Chains A and B, each alone.
Chain A
Amino acid sequence: MIKALGYFIEIIRGSIITTRHFVVNMFFHILKVLRIKTKKKGAVTIQYPEQKREIASRHRSLHRLMTREDGKPRCVACMLCATVCPSECIYIEAGEDPDPEIQKYPAKFIIDLSRCCFCGFCVEACPEDAIRMDTENIEFAEYSRQELIYDLDKLLG
């Protein structure tokens, strides 16, 4: 009987919590409708397409390839990123560069974003700082998988 009473008290407490939330939030919503500015808001929602959340500086977003001063990719096709990639989504074909200082350059550099898991290992593995994930672009959804395969032009541009 006492146990049942305890349940009953908890039930009442639960409804008091939801009622409090309702009343407080409704108060701020009504203030907003009356165009009274308040510090607190009735809801914590960020209404996405119109309002965007600030992206943290360490957020891993869409990849980009860095360039040298002359506009060529910094990448030397060392294959470290392709090796470390856990989802095996990087494909590199090396070409020979006439400059003996550079020796190799990527003839093809393809990232299959439909497989990428955005772990950022490629960025950490790169000895030349040639690949970065700091474009702050997180909206690259496409209607077909083919369009998610990014080649050298797309990654440089």
Chain B
Amino acid sequence: MSEVLIVLIKIICALVWLLALTLYLTWVERKESAVIQDRIGANRADILGIRIIGLFQPIADAIKFVFKEDFTPRFSKKYLHTLAPFISFFFVAVTISAIPFGDVLRIGGREIKLLILDFNVGLLFVLAMLSLGIYGIILGGWASNNRYTLLGGMRGAAQLVSYEVALGLSLVGLIMVYPSLNLSSIVHAQGELLFGWLPKWGVFLQPLGCLIFFFAALAETKRVPFDLPEGENEIVGFFTEYSGLKWGLFMMTDFMEVLIISTLLITLFFGGWQVPWMSADGFHFPWGAQVLLPHGIVVLFQVLAFNLKVFFFCWLQILIRWTYPRFRYDQVMDLGWKLLIPLSLANIIGTGIIMSI
């Protein structure tokens, strides 16, 4: 009974974390873009005259979405049209279950792993779920029964399928280095030290793989440098026929993908919840100093480190989105098939050669 309760609490915590951060990522995006462009950004939403630098903006947006008309065109396939945003949302949200937020937490003689599902194919599960998210886009584009949405959906499918290959291949080298598909054991392996001082993070062992993964993952989020499914200036995109909360769900999915990509990137390449030179009983610095910490503080540090890393990569992705203009369709395909996939294959071969020496 208590096992079920613990799992339930873990699920609720992870979902609240994910949804709250997704909601506030919309605010962060608006504010960060404003700061980059010397503006102030959304700061008008207030409750009883109190406006804390616009922190109530996401709530105001959510309320607006709820009260907007939920319009389904007469010519659309109603069932699939309604189903599409939910599919898109679900398959992105479900990936959070395999991502470790921290190491084990010991309370009252019970060991609680700070992740929902600890299974051997965690990495494959996450990749599979991210790929299944495409169905939401294709369905949304097709069921709307509008030429432009169909075009957007097909473009999205083409882009995601081609980048899925690079995404998967870039991780092969990583799986060779840490011979595991289990995300928590990959993170554990990153706690060791290289040459006695460098944390054994994926980015130091697989710099090329990390770069390819980051590019392919950026393409997966379908945001501006790679926003082919949307393409605001050519076709409006697969969600043209959506309005109200269903459109909001598509938008939430977009931001949630940014968050999931950040968590995945740090879990695989930046040590997940690992703090450099910190093991289960405190800091052990390479120059010999030691700071021993109680168990609770260590777990707190781990969760904090995880969150900080996630925030940094969310910031980086938003910076990229507000820096670069969008690629043309053929440029995106060129980059995917002609550059990233050969590079990731070379990465696999190089990793194999270095490991065999």
Contact = CB atoms under 8 A, between A and B. Distances in A.
A binds B: yes
Contact of B34 (A15, A18, A43, A47): A43
Given A11-B324, A14-B323, A15-B319, A21 B36 contact: yes
B40 A47 contact: yes
Contact of B322 (A18, A26, A44, A47): A18
Interface in A5-19: 11, 14-15, 17-19
Contacts of B320: 15
Interface in B25-49: 32, 34-40
A25 B319 contact: no
B38 A21 contact: yes
A148 B38 CA distance: 36
Contacts of B36: 18, 21-22, 25
A12 to B, nearest CB: 10
Contacts of B39: 43-45
B319 A19 contact: yes
B35 A25 contact: yes
B35 A15 contact: no
A4 to B, nearest CB: 8
A22 B324 contact: no
A64 interface: no
B324 A14 contact: yes
Chain A CB within 10 A, most for which of B32, B38, B324: B38
A14 B39 CA distance: 19
A29 interface: yes
Contacts of B323: 14-15, 17-18
Interface residues of A, number: 16
Contacts of B34: 43
Question: Which label, helix, strand, loop or mixed, suits the secondary structure of the A interface?
Answer: helix
Interface string B231-256: 00000000000000000000000000
A87 B40 CA distance: 38
Contacts of A11: 324
B10 to A, nearest CB: 35
B35 A22 contact: yes
A42 interface: yes
Contacts of B322: 18
A29 B40 CA distance: 9
Contacts of A19: 319
Contacts of A47: 40
Contact of A29 (B35, B37, B319): B35
Nearest to A20: B36
Contacts of B40: 43, 45, 47
Contacts of A18: 36, 319, 322-323
Contacts of A42: 35, 38
A17 B37 CA distance: 11
Interface string A19-49: 1011001100100000000000011110100
A11 B319 CA distance: 12
B311 to A, nearest CB: 14
Contacts of A29: 35
A11 B211 CA distance: 14
A29 B32 CA distance: 12
B36 to A, nearest CB: 5
Contact of B32 (A22, A43, A44, A45): A22
A44 B323 CA distance: 19
B324 A21 contact: no
Nearest to A16: B323
Given A11-B324, A14-B324, A22 B319 contact: yes
A44 B319 contact: no
A45 B40 CA distance: 6
A29 B38 CA distance: 11
B38 A43 contact: yes
A37 B211 CA distance: 42
Contacts of A15: 319-320, 323
Interface string B303-345: 0000000000000000110111000000000000000000000
A19 B323 CA distance: 9
Contacts of A17: 323
The 10 closest A-B pairs by CB, nearest first: A18-B323, A45-B40, A43-B40, A25-B35, A18-B36, A44-B38, A22-B36, A21-B36, A14-B323, A15-B323
12 contacts: A14-B323, A14-B324, A15-B323, A17-B323, A18-B323, A19-B319, A21-B35, A21-B38, A22-B32, A42-B35, A42-B38, A45-B40
